[in-house]
Amino acid sequence: MPDKSIKDTRIELFGNIMDNPVIPASGTFGFGYEFNDWYDVSILGSIALKGTTLEARYGNPLPRIAECPAGMINAIGLQNPGAEAVRDVELKKLKKVYPKKVIANVGGHSFDEYVKTAAILDSADNVFCIELNVSCPNVKGGGMAFGLDAGILEELTAAVKSAVTKPVVVKLSPNVTDITVTAKAAERGGADGLSLINTLVGMRLDLKTARPIISVKRGGYSGPGVFPVALNAVYNVREAVSVPIIGMGGVTCAENVIEMMYAGACAVMVGTQNLIDPFACKKIIEDLTKVMEKLGIDRLSDIIGRAHNA
């Protein structure tokens, strides 16, 4: 008889066995190693790296942040040191404190840039999959533009797939009428998995000047306010495709992780909450076994998609 008091939080993603399904989301955790000043990051299931482009990018002018009820808007604009620096400098620094495999996040302005960037990050030995950011609302003439049109998305996914050896996860935008349409397009293009949702386009105005607070007017809204939207998207996409789903959007606690997994996610990313509480992922991981105990769950992988059979 297996010992029922030991809760099994492990999950498998593309053959990579993770100690738990908790992954800090891209853009909320830098390149990971700096969080080791707060806690031992090696407890994390995996880490999704800051969105990376071929060349270094400064991103958008300041202000890039606006507060909202139950969340925030950001318009960073993919600030990053460029793909080669990420592979040769950032990933090496991360490896010293995080021996497990990580997820590289790839952004771009053209097919060519996505393909080249993905190929560079594909060659890093501690990267186990490539997350394709086709849903960043903060990059002009790129980013989200590639993720809203099903035809373009399918083609881009196929182009990147043909240039890399590792599994490709397409990160989907919620800024569409029906997210299952783009989900199916990515699957047709050869995506090995999907991650969803990226941020929702939003705006805040300054009461005194009547001008947008964000320098580029609008940005991506994230935080606990989007959790129900994200959960619904994961639920719907689970019914539309068969590839693994990484769920994210407004996750703040272990209970949210369970809900995401019920809806069909096999791993869960935690984003904005890392910015509010640097210990967020650590707390969620620690709470996870307690919540499993309370709900009578022995093996976390058993609950993936449970909502669809309940």
Partner 1 sequence: MKKATLTVISNTALTRDVFEMRLAGAERPLPGSFLEIGLDGFFLKRPFGAAGYKGGILTVYYRVVGAGTEAMSALTEGSELEALTSLGNGFSAEGVTRPLIVSGGLGIAPLKYLADCFAEKGIRPVFVAGFKSASEVILKEELEKICTLAVATDDGSTGFYGNAVEYLKRNPVSFDRYFACGPEPMLKGMQRFSGNGQLSLEARMGCGFGACMGCSIKTVSGFKRVCKEGPVFDAGEVIFDAR
Choice from 9, 11, 35, 147 touching partner 1 (CB under 8 A): 35
Choice from 40, 55, 61, 293 touching partner 1 (CB under 8 A): 61
Ramachandran category for residue 30: left, alpha or beta (phi over 0 → left; psi -120 to 50 → alpha): left
| Number of Cβ atoms within 10 Å of the Cβ of 95 | 16
Catalytic residue among 68, 129, 136, 266: 136
Choice from 68, 119, 148, 303 touching partner 1 (CB under 8 A): 68
| Residue pair 39/33 in contact by the 8 Å Cβ criterion | no
Helix (H, G, I), strand (E, B) or coil at 293: helix
248-287 footprint of partner 1 as x/- string (CB under 8 A): --------------------------xxxxxx--------
Dihedrals phi, psi of 67, to nearest 5 degrees = -75, 150
Give the shortest CB-203-to-partner 1 separation in angstroms: 15
Strand duo 245-248 + 193-196: pairing: parallel
- Beta-carbon contacts of 209 under 8 Å, excluding residues fewer than 6 positions away, are none
Indicate whether 65 belongs to the interface with partner 1 (CB under 8 A).
yes
Give the shortest CB-233-to-partner 1 separation in angstroms: 22
Q: Is the CB of 117 or the CB of 252 nearer to partner 1?
A: 252
Choice from 8, 10, 14, 38 touching partner 1 (CB under 8 A): 38
Give the shortest CB-53-to-partner 1 separation in angstroms: 13
> Which amino acid is present at 44?
L
Choice from 193, 223, 244, 249 touching partner 1 (CB under 8 A): 223
> Which amino acid is present at 74?
N
Indicate whether 175 belongs to the interface with partner 1 (CB under 8 A).
no
| Residue pair 240/180 in contact by the 8 Å Cβ criterion | yes
Helix (H, G, I), strand (E, B) or coil at 156: helix
In the chain, helix, strand, coil percent, each to 5?
40, 20, 40
Indicate whether 216 belongs to the interface with partner 1 (CB under 8 A).
no
Choice from 14, 36, 43, 63 touching partner 1 (CB under 8 A): 63
Q: Is the CB of 189 or the CB of 223 nearer to partner 1?
A: 223
* Residue 147, token pair as written in the block: 């993720």
DSSP string for residues in 160-216: HHHH-SS-EEEEPPS-SS-HHHHHHHHHHTT-SEEEE--PEEE--B-TTT-SBSBTT
Choice from 28, 52, 105, 133 touching partner 1 (CB under 8 A): 28
Give the shortest CB-150-to-partner 1 separation in angstroms: 31
Indicate whether 30 belongs to the interface with partner 1 (CB under 8 A).
yes
Separation of alpha carbons 280 and 98, rounded Å: 17
Q: Is 136 a catalytic residue?
A: yes
Which residues have a catalytic role annotated?
Answer: 136
The residues that touch partner 1, with contacts defined as CB under 8 A, are: 27-30, 34-35, 37-38, 50, 58-59, 61-72, 74, 76, 79, 213, 223, 274-279
